[in-house]
Amino acid sequence: MRKTVVLVLVCAMLLMGVNIAAAGQAMDRILKKGELVVGITGTQPPLNVTDKNGNIIGYDADIAKLIATNLGVKIKFSTMPFAELLPALAANKVDLVLSSLTMTLERNRKTAFVGPYYVSGKGILTKTKNIGILQQAEGLNNPAFMVATLGKSTSQKFVEQAAPKAQLVATKSYDDAIDMLLQDKVNAVVADYPFCAFTAFRFQEKGLVAGQSKFTVEPLGIAAPEDTLLINWLRNFVNMLEASGQLKNLTEKWFQNGGWIEELP
């Protein structure tokens, strides 16, 4: 009996040692290399977008830069399709993912999240000529209606659940979805509401219009590796951004003022 108790205690101490060793590894790696690599699409305005000079700008990008500055390291953005972001984090190809990523139960079962740093929701983008169809009883849930969404996103899941009869087209990027809408290859795009509102404003002369309300409430979070010290620091940092009013300032900059649109290609 005594030997069993000793063995259990030894095993417990070994497991604690593993957990202690794991804590802080990601943060130490970031600090040691002096660089924070952030996974981002660069195609989700106003959260993140690529400007005419090839730089990543937007709400997400500004938060990532603030994180890097407060860690005392340089920022590096690693752009990739949305569906590749979380796999890249799991493979340690990026240190964080900050790219309009909704914190869902399914994602949280595999990935740690910090936030929300912004609360978004689903919106719809279409052409004025399609409004009549959307106002019918079936709405989106029409077999003759083609809807584009970002592949592997909560928008895709929303359409699958809310409009199972619609013809769903999953795209690699928002740019692809908008091109299809402009070319009348789809009748609508379902995406994050801020993106829909921004795109309707940018392409209003081409007949694009966004719905006036959100379909859902979706908290956006920072996806992080399983490092308790890094997660704790990020949580405290996001709370500080909220308490200091910096998140409010960023919201006004990217969601209410349109001057930055001139920086786009």
Q: What is the pLDDT of residues 75-106, one digit of tens each?
A: 999 999 999 999 999 999 999 999 999 999 99
Retrieve residue 149's tokens: 């969404």
Give percent of the chain with pLDDT exceeding 90.
Answer: 82
Among candidates 45, 93, 97, 92, which has minimal Cα distance to 67? 97
Do the Cβ atoms of 176 and 189 come closer than 8 Å?
no
Do the Cβ atoms of 35 and 73 come closer than 8 Å?
yes
Whole-structure pTM value? 0.84
Q: How large is the average pLDDT for residues 157-178?
A: 96
Q: Within 10 A of 77 (CB to CB), how many other CB atoms are there?
A: 22
DSSP letters, 50-74, are E-TTS-EESHHHHHHHHHHHHHTSE
Residue 114: φ, ψ to 5°: -120, 130
pLDDT at 19: 45
Q: How large is the average pLDDT for residues 140-160?
A: 94
Helix pair 25-33, 228-244: axis angle to 10 deg: 70
Predicted confidence (pLDDT) at residue 144 exceeds the cutoff of 90: no
pLDDT tens column, 194-252: 999 999 999 989 999 998 788 899 999 999 999 999 999 999 999 999 999 999 999 99
Q: How large is the average pLDDT for residues 153-174?
A: 95
- Superfamily, domain 122-210: Periplasmic binding protein-like II (3.40.190.10)
The reply to whether 122-210 shares the fold of 23-120+219-263 is yes
pLDDT at 137: 66
pLDDT at 135: 77
Among candidates 51, 41, 61, 50, which has minimal Cα distance to 253? 61
pLDDT at 17: 45
Q: Cα–Cα distance between 23 and 14 in angstroms, integer?
A: 14
Quick one: which H or E segment has residue 123?
strand 122-127
Per CATH, domain 23-120+219-263 is 3.40.630.10: no
When mean pLDDT is compared across 6-10, 28-32, 108-112, 141-145, the lowest value belongs to: 6-10
Q: Which residues contact 60 (CB under 8 A, 6 or more apart)?
A: 40, 44, 47, 48, 98, 99, 100
Domain locations in the chain?
23-120+219-263, 122-210
- The burial of 253, by beta-carbon neighbours within 10 Å (0-12 exposed, 13-18 middle, 19 or more buried), is given as middle
Question: Given pLDDT bands bounded at 50, 70 and 90, which one contains residue 256?
Answer: confident
> β-strand 48-50 against 43-44: which pairing, if any?
antiparallel
